[in-house]
Amino acid sequence: MTPNDFTTDDDLRDYRACRLCPRRCGVDRTAGGIGVCGESAELRIAHACPHFGEEPPISGTRGSGTVFFCGCSCGCFFCQNAQISRQHAGTARTPAEFERLCRDLLGRGVHNLNFVTPDHYWPHLRAVCRRLRAAGHTEPFVFNSSGYELAERVAGYAEVMDVFLPDFKFADPELAARCLNAPDYPATALAAVRAMVAAVGFLAPWDETGAEMARRGVLVRHLVLPGQVENSLAVLRLLHREFGPELPLAVMSQYRPMPACAGRPPFDRAVRAAEYAAVCDLAEDLGFHRVFLQQLDDDEAFLPDFTRPGEPFAGNLRASPNP
């Protein structure tokens, strides 16, 4: 980050001896140091667009103003966004350019601003969101994240963020160790989601059709992985035990094997219909009733291509009150 156009020490401090996420790398990103997320303190953005593939109360009819940051502190080997999270395709932006991107999206009438994998760029994001609020923008700000966040940072996030869309990928520490070298993922994500729910509650207002847009709250997403049904069932049981059946959920079938999955069965195939059905069945049995599902035949529609002009995604989530 060049401390040119914003510039409180506060904005910079968190990048020095960086401990912004549970990796706690301790590198000085302002001096070009690179931690697990793969990004220095230079703000790098892969794409910004109105996105129509989020859940209906997030995308609505005019789209969610989505900003995709480069890098990710998780580094899942199967990452569906590998072009930007692991290969770091994107463009360096000054804070002023980032703010302009956000203003341009808002000017296009999007329902909200949606920041994807934002935790490692939190100082930039906090500063720009504060400036947008000070300028009178009232649209919800969405923190769209991996779930692998520090619970103690959530209250700070919630000072400027309205909606949280955390993933909850793993209940199985061994699987989390295998996929992203983070056996602490389940405990860390649970503490983070707990803190998010405490800060902003469940997603509200709840209108699965998208006629009324979400203004505040938490929606948890779970991506079903091939050959990992037991992990998915354990995730649902854990979420049910902790938050009860009112918790808004998105259960996603969109996994597609990426080149890095070659030779790593069962990650080298798509999710089978029976696997996805088993997870949806348990969601129903547990009484979750605010649930978004996907159709397996949506196929490649959800696989982003950040080289495609315009929207990198083509798919859309479908609401199902009765999974």
Query: Does 37 engage in binding with ligand SF4 (CB under 6 A)?
Result: yes
Q: Which long-range contacts (C-beta less than 8 Å, at least 24 apart) are formed by 127-133? A: 127/6, 127/8, 127/11, 127/95, 128/95, 128/98, 128/99, 128/102, 129/160, 129/161, 130/160, 131/6, 131/99, 132/99, 132/102, 132/103, 132/106, 133/160
User: To the nearest whole angstrom, how small is the minimum distance from the Cβ of residue 69 to ligand SF4?
Assistant: 10
Residues 112, 214: Cα–Cα separation, whole Å: 9
Which of these segments, 45-53, 74-82, 130-138, 232-240, binds ligand SF4 (CB under 6 A)? 74-82
Which of 1, 6, 11, 21 lies at the binding interface for ligand SF4 (CB under 6 A)?
21
**Of 113 and 225, which has the nearer Cβ to ligand SF4?**
225
Minimum CB distance to ligand SF4, residue 171 (Å): 16
Q: Does 76 bind ligand SF4 (CB under 6 A)?
A: yes
- Phi, psi for residue 65 in degrees, rounded to 5: -75, 95
* CA dist., res. 218 & res. 171, Å (int): 19
Q: Which is nearer to ligand SF4, 29 or 290 (CB)?
A: 29
40 binds ligand SF4 (CB under 6 A): no
End-to-end Cα distance, the chain: 45
Size of the site for ligand SF4 (CB under 6 A): 23
Kindly tell me the sign of the dihedral angle through the C-alpha atoms of 86, 89, 94, 100.
negative
Kindly state the smallest distance separating residue 211's Cβ from ligand SF4, in Å. Answer: 29
Region from 17-25, 129-137, 225-233, 255-263 binding ligand SF4, contact rule CB under 6 A: 17-25
Given a contact cutoff of 8 angstroms between Cβ atoms, the answer to whether 126 and 78 are in contact is no
Closer to ligand SF4 by CB, 137 or 256: give it: 256
| x/- letters, 276..305, toward ligand SF4 (CB under 6 A) | ------------------------------
- In the bound state with ligand SF4, the residue whose beta carbon lies nearer, of 19 and 88, is 19
DSSP of 13-27, one letter per residue?
HTTTTT-SSTT----
> Considering only CA atoms, which of 22, 39, 28 is closest in space to residue 152?
22
Q: Per the structure block, which two tokens stand in for 310?
A: 């315009």
Burial grade of 95 (CB within 10 A; 0-12, 13-18, 19 or more): buried
Site string for ligand SF4, 115-134 (x = CB under 6 A): --x--x--------------
Of 1, 30, 35, 64, the one binding ligand SF4 by CB under 6 A: 35
Residue 84 Cβ, how far from ligand SF4 at the closest point, in Å?
8
User: Residue 137: what are its φ and ψ, rounded to 5°?
Assistant: -75, 130
Looking at beta carbons only, is 59 or 85 nearer to ligand SF4? 85
What's the per-residue H, E or C state across 287-320?
Answer: CCCCEEECCHHHHHHHCCCCCCCCCCCCCCCEEE
Site string for ligand SF4, 135-154 (x = CB under 6 A): -----------x--------
Is residue 73 within the footprint of ligand SF4 (CB under 6 A)?
Answer: yes
Q: Which of 1, 30, 36, 172 binds ligand SF4 (CB under 6 A)?
A: 36
Q: What is the closest distance, in whole angstroms, from the C-beta atom of residue 303 to ligand SF4 in the complex?
A: 12
Neighbours of 44 (CB within 10 A): 18
- By beta carbon distance, the residue nearest ligand SF4 is 35
Single out the residue of 148, 145, 159, 93 nearest to residue 124, CA to CA. 93
Q: Could you list the residues that contact ligand SF4 (CB under 6 A)? A: 18-21, 23-25, 27, 29, 35-37, 72-76, 79, 81, 85, 117, 120, 146
